[in-house]
Structure 1
Amino acid sequence: MAVVVRAGAAPLWWLGVFAAGTGVLVPGVTGRRIGVLTGAALFLVGGAAAALVRRRRYTALLRGVVRAGRYDVLQDRAVTVRNWRRGHRWWLLLAFVAALGGSLAVPAAGGMLLAGLGAGLRLKAAWLGRRERAGQTLLWVRVDWLDRCGGGPAGKAVKGLRGTGVAAGDAAPGGARRRTAAPV
């Protein structure tokens, strides 16, 4: 589950940093100083919103974790990240273009908002990782539920979470890539 949350963090962060850096080069209507200060406020607000939104739904799903069964379809981290990024590439491109276009009015603000959203998603994945470590279980969303839901890993189509041991799969708690081989 944390893998799906974390899949959008890196693209949003890097596209936001690039858009903010490019936006600073253009003086814009409001000027660089106001643009950067506005962007800093948007970074904080966007990061907090992304980290805290739907936290109750995640907590409710965490309470009802069931051990993954034989017929549950779970997929590796790399496949999940690749599928999420392919499915959202046009939204990411649209957000990047909007951030760059907004730089003509308020320099760097849109890019810093995108970067804040990426940082917030990273914080949410870290929160989920702490919950996974505390319970000594990796949390999974069934692939067939994830494909149907428009609300991400906590969408309406997700009826519950599946759990496996922390050695399962190629992801570490929190959705990060496993650095060492999984213990047998």
Structure 2
Amino acid sequence: MARGGQGLARVAVVVRAGAAPLWWLGVCAAGIGVLVPGLTGRRIGLSAGAALFVVATAVVAYAGRRRYAALARSAARAGKHDVLQDRAVSVRTWRRGHRWWLLLAFLAVLGSAFAVPAAGGLLLAGCGAGLWLKAAWIGRREQDGDALLWVRVDWLTKNGGRPAGKAVRAYRTTGVAAGDAAPGGTRRKPSALV
């Protein structure tokens, strides 16, 4: 980076990056798993899966919130030489770095359907839903504070893509108009021409 600037990735975008793959892989695995009678039977499998979905959603959505809040409170303003990473680049980087874990998780929950049909898939889908809720919570914090939260890319890399891991010492902030992602990490809607 020129003149001491850092590459910065949006915190909410990185959190949200795993939501869609986990959700869709989980839904697919649950759909395939329902076709297998399994050891426990479909009714028990679906009941267990529904419970696991709710628990996984809540656990993932609330896990680490204190750490995120502490990093957000101590965030410093981004410098003029810092480089803001595009949303698509952040998402692609996270998904490439986790593709083997996603594949192994999908195969594991698919295999678990022979014991408890659909339960593993619904657990995976619940993790995806929890990440969406966490990104939405970060987005509300960003809107309330009127500032977007960013994490240094090098710290993110050291943490295996976790934006609130031990190597992350602080966040940076920008105004809400910076970057190409809205608060919460969603795609920014193009403004209407007047």
Query: TM-score if structure 1 supplies the norm length?
Result: 0.96
Partner deviation per Cα, 1:39-73 (whole Å, 9 max, x = no partner): 00100111111001111101110111111013434
- Which residue identity lines up with residue 159 of structure 2 in the other structure? C
Q: Which residue of 1 aligns with 2:174?
A: 164
The answer (yes or no) to whether the contact 1:8–1:121 under 8 Å persists in 2 is yes
SS in structure 2 opposite 1:141? Answer: strand
Query: Structure 1 residues 79 and 108, CA, compared in 2 at 3 Å: closer, same or farther?
Result: same
How many residues of Structure 1 are paired with residues of Structure 2 in the alignment? 183
Q: For residue 45 of structure 2, give the secondary structure of its aligned residue in structure 1.
A: helix
Fraction of identical pairs, as percent: 73
Aligned counterparts of 2:77 and 2:169: Cα–Cα separation in 1 = 14
Counterpart of 2:63 (choices 50, 53, 57) is: 53
How many angstroms does 1:111 deviate by? 0.2
Runs of 4+ in 1 over 6 A off after TM superposition: none
Q: What's 2:26 paired with?
A: 16
- 1:38-77 matches, within 5 Å, as 38-77=48-87
Q: Hey, what's the Cα distance between the residues in 2 that align with 1:39 and 1:94? A: 19
User: Which residue is equivalent to 2:148?
Assistant: 138
- Whether the 8 Å CA contact 1:170–1:177 is kept in 2: the answer is yes
* Runs of 5+ unmatched residues, structure 1: none
Task: Describe how 1:71-86 pairs up with structure 2 within 5 A.
Answer: 71-86=81-96
**2: CA distance, partners of 1:46 / 1:182:** 39
Instruction: Write the distance in 2 (CA, Å) between the matches of 1:182 and 1:56.
Output: 37
Q: Give 1:182 shift.
A: 10
Q: Deviations over 1:58-110 (max 9, x none)?
A: 11101111110134343111100000000000000000000100000000000
Q: Counterpart in 2 of 1:177?
A: 187
Structure-2 separation of matches of 1:121 and 1:102 = 23
Q: Which residue of 2 aligns with 1:4?
A: 14
One-letter code of the match for 1:22?
I
Instruction: Could you tell me which runs of 5 or more consecutive residues in structure 2 were left unpaired when the two chains were aligned.
Output: 1-10
Q: 2:192 and 2:52 mapped to 1: Cα distance?
A: 40
